Chains A and B, each alone.
Chain A
Amino acid sequence: MSQRTSPPLFPPSVGNRRRRARAWNPSLSLIVGALTLGAVIFMLPFLWMVLTSLKSDRQVRTIPLLLWPDPLLVEPYVRAWVGANFSQYTLNSLIVSTAAATVNAFLSALMGYTLARLRFRGREVVFTLILSTLMVPVQIAFIPMFLIVARMPLLGGNDLLGQGGSGLLDTYAGLLAPHVITAFGIFLLRQFMLGFPTDLEDAARVDGASEFMIFWRIMLPLSVPALITLFLLHFTGVWNDLLWPLVVTNSESMRTLPLGLSQLRGTLYTEWNMVMAGTAISVIPTIIIFIIGQRYFQRSIAITGLK
């Protein structure tokens, strides 16, 4: 909430107040006007996506421009979902993103708990090390990461030395590999758990609870808001990733939505109504997730103590 409208400490003179009131109102409506214009420009691609995705290919190409689809067609969606196999891509994206977000939330909580609440030698060193990995861009690690995934010993037809087969390439495990834990998640959960009073676990410890029980029964339930935040952030992050699915999958049936989207354009002729239907299928889930959980998204900024 803005507090700029709170009453001033000393009442201003009447003339002063009138001047401020006059200066305030037009500027606010000007601001709202500018914001509305900006919002329209910002929403335009989404709006145009929906309108295009409900037209026939011929309607898309009419000159002059046909603004409103007439008649409304759901056929482009059917073609994207069934014909272009977006049902499979959506399933793949759902599996990988859900698995990644769940595992990441659990492991981040466990490590965050350890780094925030347990006392042991080397704690600060480990924490600094984990934080420093935030600086490594994926682009520097993804070539060897690809090779590690391809050469996983004893998996995907590989021998003990990782030769002979294709390892985890073209599998869900391979798609998941770089997204299992994030340093950001550990940092987020650690910051969140630092805020709990110490009496919580002291009381449990006196009662003889194990460290894992304290984590499972006390810390995890208390951290639910931070866990939801992390889950949503990581889910959308993995859902939207393009580079890694691009290098780690070969077969069409293992594609995720962004990868499917990137291949949807024809080399000579593009059916834009179907492309926009595919785009809608890929963006609507994250938009819904964001709108429902928007306070959780914005909370991450507060928890990590951005100042």
Chain B
Amino acid sequence: MVSLSVRLQRLRYRQAFWAWVFLSPGLVYFAIFLILPVLASVYISFTNWDILTPPRWVGMANYTELLQNSTIQRAILNTFYYAAVTIPVTIALGLLLALALNRAFFGRTFFRIIYYLPVVISAAATALLWMWIFQSQVGLLNHLLAWAGLPKQSWLVSPLYAMPVIMWTGIWQSLGWSVVVFLAGLQNISEMYYEAAKIDGADSGQLFRYITWPLLAPTTLFVLVILIIGSLQVFGTVLIMTDGGPLNSTTVIVHQVYINAFQYLRMGYGSALGIILFLFILLLALTNLRLFGSSTAH
């Protein structure tokens, strides 16, 4: 008779064997389509490469050129401007709507679905929907302005208004997501805290300030980090609504990556900009996790 320990040993080997068999297709895929590209991207960023002729090593040249180029500087500034406006607004409105929807009333689910709808459609569709509303000659908004006796505006062809319009579009698209995440966060807060505070005579402002806000901090942090990652990568709406114009007033980092790599065939330059973007994201995400992560560790 085979002893129990030998059989257990055999079972363990068998499990380990099958575990690696099951993991291997996925791991090979990740290696080829994720890890290899990331490493290659670092290498390419140090070269001059137009795909047609072999890459030529140029060291840091792409990076120094990038940071001195005024269009790239503009793209970086625009990207941060976009993030700095859309993130606080999406968080504030998202939280406000979540607080409203967290109450019991008829039609709650209906509102939740409505606010979430823009999340499930493409950036391309989002861009076209709002381009049509903001169209300068016969767009709905200008019709409404004319009706109210106000002057029409050339929204997307104006260096002043084009970026705010793109920002509004971005907020419209991501707000529903932040509402749903905040709602999930709110429902994780135990009712006990509120009951206890009410007995102590806390008003609703105090309930929010001393219970909801601090206990929601991990959710807020999560929303913040995901929005940072998303907004620094804004691309689809920009490409379709303005293609970076007018006068580069709406060009953003990923737009420049795309233009340089696939329109000018400057793979090295484009890759270098991609890596700079990654460093921005990493830096901002880690800073936030550091700054606010400690205060959320209950």
Q: Which of A70-78, A174-182, A191-199, A223-231 contacts B (4 or more CB under 8 A)?
A: A174-182
Interface string of A24-58 (1 = CB under 8 A from B): 00001001101100110011111011001000000
Verify if B235 is at the interface (C-beta below 8 Å from A).
yes
- Residue among B117, B131, B229, B285 with the highest chain A CB neighbour number at 10 A: B117
Give A210's nearest chain B residue, CB to CB: B18
The count of residues in chain B whose C-beta lies closer than 8 Å to any C-beta of chain A is 96
Chain A contact residues: helix, strand, loop or mixed: helix
Asked if residues A258 and B132 are in contact (CB atoms below 8 Å), the reply is no
Verify if A13 is at the interface (C-beta below 8 Å from B).
no
Give B34's nearest chain A residue, CB to CB: A133
Asked if residues A307 and B34 are in contact (CB atoms below 8 Å), the reply is no
Please judge, given known A-B contacts A42-B118, A242-B124, A272-B135, whether A212 and B18 are in contact too, CB under 8 Å: yes
Q: How far is the CB of B49 from chain A (nearest CB, A)?
A: 9
Kindly identify which residue among A52, A111, A140, A181 contacts B278, using a CB–CB cutoff of 8 Å: A140
Interface string of B27-40 (1 = CB under 8 A from A): 10110111111101
Verify if B111 is at the interface (C-beta below 8 Å from A).
yes
The count of residues in chain A whose C-beta lies closer than 8 Å to any C-beta of chain B is 100
Verify if A172 is at the interface (C-beta below 8 Å from B).
no
Verify if B107 is at the interface (C-beta below 8 Å from A).
yes
Asked if residues B199 and A306 are in contact (CB atoms below 8 Å), the reply is no
Verify if B188 is at the interface (C-beta below 8 Å from A).
yes
Given contacts A8-B199, A65-B147, A181-B30, could you give 18 more A-B pairs where the C-beta distance is less than 8 Å? A9-B199, A10-B199, A38-B97, A43-B114, A45-B132, A45-B172, A48-B129, A48-B133, A135-B285, A141-B34, A148-B32, A240-B121, A243-B236, A247-B262, A262-B240, A283-B121, A297-B116, A306-B185
Chain A residues in contact with chain B, CB under 8 A? 1-6, 8-10, 28, 31-32, 34-35, 38-39, 42-46, 48-49, 52, 60-61, 63-65, 107, 110-111, 113-115, 118-121, 123, 126, 130, 133, 135-145, 147-148, 177-178, 180-181, 183, 186, 205, 210-212, 215, 236, 239-243, 246-247, 257-259, 261-262, 264-265, 272, 275-276, 279, 282-283, 286-287, 289-291, 294, 297-298, 301-302, 306-307
